[in-house]
Chains A and B, each alone.
Chain A
Amino acid sequence: DQQVKQNSPSLSVQEGRISILNCDYTNSMFDYFLWYKKYPAEGPTFLISISSIKDKNEDGRFTVFLNKSAKHLSLHIVPSQPGDSAVYFCAAPNAGGTSHGKLTFGQGTILTVHP
């Protein structure tokens, strides 16, 4: 049961254009979402998050949008740069008092930004 899904395994964009990475979830109890970025041979690093009380959170070139009714979130990168080429994971904390900080991750989307 994949509760967090990233249906696009890969995305290719031109430098300077917008990158849009999508994520869908099935558990309506999720109330906080995170995006992580991972370079090859490195561990994931936290990028940006959003609480369910918001529908948008912006940090520099990165903006995350949340559509609760559609159970969908997206990460926008504008403008895209070659250094943004990486795997992007969306994640949500497991709900419930015994979750102990566990996160459920999507499958990841490989972003390639061409110069």
Chain B
Amino acid sequence: DVKVTQSSRYLVKRTGEKVFLECVQDMDHENMFWYRQDPGLGLRLIYFSYDVKMKEKGDIPEGYSVSREKKERFSLILESASTNQTSMYLCASSPPWGEQFFGPGTRLTVL
């Protein structure tokens, strides 16, 4: 059974903190993605990676960075959390083309 796991389901942080969100997939997929989901805005792509150590900006990369040191792991970093980064964060992985498989999501609240 394919699986994408995320390190936390719920997270509460304070403004200015550095936040790490971890994502691990066991499908040996080349591609990994980070999205945020906000009501009425759908899924917006923050960053994606198509290979180890390779990364590209998505539609809304400002305030975020990523790291992919191993094929199965893709980390999202909020360098200095702000209240407008309160959101549901979703990680996904996929083969080079086709269906993306999503993790359960992390609900992040920044106070």
Contact B104 A9 (CB under 8 A): no
The answer to the question of B78 belonging to the interface, with a C-beta cut-off of 8 Å to chain A, is no
Contact B42 A101 (CB under 8 A): no
Contact A89 B43 (CB under 8 A): yes
Residue of B9, B44, B99, B102 touching A34 (CB-CB under 8 A): B99
The answer to the question of B52 belonging to the interface, with a C-beta cut-off of 8 Å to chain A, is no
The answer to the question of B12 belonging to the interface, with a C-beta cut-off of 8 Å to chain A, is no
The answer to the question of B64 belonging to the interface, with a C-beta cut-off of 8 Å to chain A, is no
The answer to the question of A25 belonging to the interface, with a C-beta cut-off of 8 Å to chain B, is no
Contact A43 B40 (CB under 8 A): no
Residue of A43, A49, A101 touching B97 (CB-CB under 8 A): A101
B55 to chain A, nearest CB (A): 11
Contact A89 B42 (CB under 8 A): yes
Given that A41-B107, A45-B102 are known contacts, is A100 also in contact with B41, CB under 8 Å in the complex? no
B103 closest partner in A (C-beta): A43
Residue of A38, A43, A46, A107 touching B4 (CB-CB under 8 A): A43
A88 to chain B, nearest CB (A): 11
The answer to the question of A42 belonging to the interface, with a C-beta cut-off of 8 Å to chain B, is yes
* Interface-facing stretch out of B14-22, B69-77, B79-87, B88-96: B88-96
Mark contacts of B18-54 with chain A using CB atoms, 8 A cut-off: 1 yes-contact digit, 0 otherwise.
0000000000001101000100111111001010000
The answer to the question of B8 belonging to the interface, with a C-beta cut-off of 8 Å to chain A, is no
Given that A43-B4, A107-B41 are known contacts, is A101 also in contact with B95, CB under 8 Å in the complex? yes
Q: How far is the CA of A106 from the CA of B40 in the complex (A)?
A: 9
Binding site for A on B (CB under 8 A): 4, 9, 30-31, 33, 37, 40-45, 48, 50, 56, 58, 90-92, 94-105, 107
Binding site for B on A (CB under 8 A): 6, 9, 34, 36, 38, 41-46, 49, 89, 93, 100-103, 105-108
Please list 9 pairs of residues, one from A and one from B, whose beta carbons are closer than 8 Å in the complex, sorted by A's number.
Answer: A36-B102, A42-B105, A43-B90, A43-B91, A89-B42, A101-B96, A101-B97, A101-B100, A106-B42
